[in-house]
Amino acid sequence: MKRAGVIGNPVEHSLSPHMHNAAMQALGIDAIYELWPTAVEDLSARIGSLRQPDMLGANVTVPHKQAVMHLMDEVTETAQRIGAVNTIIPTGDGLVGDNTDAYGFQAALLERVEPLSLRTALVLGAGGASRAVIVALMDMGLERIVIANRTDSRAAELAQEFGVGMAPWESVGDMVFPEADVLVNATSLGWHDEMPVNADALDRLSADSVVVDLTYRDTAFLREAAHRGFVAIDGLGMLIHQGARALTLWTGSDAPVDFMRAAVLAEQARRA
């Protein structure tokens, strides 16, 4: 039996085993997906274990997405652009570090909207999730991408690195919203059900705008957006599609996205 798993600390909350084990069962793959809690001091040994012949692959989550990069034999261009590895693929030539988050975001967004309707994006946040979102939006060919972060200096650094726009945080509600076809909350505030901006600022969006929160559930931000009639998208689709892409990279098979989605929703309902 092959083994795969998620490397991070903590990982007990992860939904990945549920969607991957459902997918591998649907595909008839003799493999199991496990939780691999890994402290910083044990990371090198954990990555080394992926070189064993029974290993199918691994996902990587916080706090190790950057740290594993130097432990890879090869890092894909996408992972280099994002600056993090979230998927490890064992090959005959060693370990390849990739990142499927940008793919996951793009696939989840295109499930709900037409790509040609998106021209300008405002991304709130300047962390790792923001980097994946920016790469996805750039690859989709948006005309303008603007970053805003509560610490303006971090937004400025990220904007300079990617060659995109930056807006001072205090100006977000007044200046940038009317131009945004897609507004993405990539901050951590959604996990605490806090609003990243004042709800009234959403009134300045155009009627056909799309609002995304990368949190894996309904949030105050999304509820306010839906109440105003906007397309409101949570982060669950991104989670599922990034996992589907990882499974394809490990197995060469098309991932059964519907099975993965059903398994995640069932586990969410059980936890609720």
Specify the pLDDT at position 176.
61
**Is 61 found in the same domain as 6?**
yes
Statement to judge: residues 7 and 93 lie in one domain: yes
**Which amino acid is residue 250, in one-letter code?**
W
pLDDT digits (tens, 9 = 90+) for 25-64: 999 999 999 999 999 999 999 999 999 999 999 999 999 9
Q: Which residues of the chain have pLDDT under 50?
A: none
What are 231's two structure tokens? Answer: 């397309």
Among residues 239, 225, 133, 122, the alpha carbon closest in space to that of 179 is found at 122
Position 9 scores a pLDDT of 97
- CATH number of the domain where residue 157 is located: 3.40.50.720
Q: Domain check: are 79 and 183 in the same one? A: no
Is residue 67 located within the same domain as residue 190?
no
Q: Which domain holds residue 34?
A: 2-99+243-271
| CATH code of 42's domain | 3.40.50.10860
d(CA 158, CA 171): 18
The total of structural domains in the chain comes to 2
Annotated catalytic sites, by residue? 65
The pLDDT value recorded for residue 173 is 65
Residues 112 and 170 in one domain: yes
Same domain, 70 and 172: no
Per-residue pLDDT, 175: 62
Same domain, 90 and 108: no
Are residue 19 and residue 59 in the same domain, yes or no? Answer: yes
205 and 253 belong to one structural domain: no
DSSP letters spanning 24-64: HHHHT--EEEEEEE--GGGHHHHHHHTTSTTEEEEEE-TT-
Say yes or no: 230 and 115 in one domain. Answer: yes
**133 and 255 share a domain?**
no
Predicted TM-score of the model (pTM): 0.95
pLDDT at 240: 98
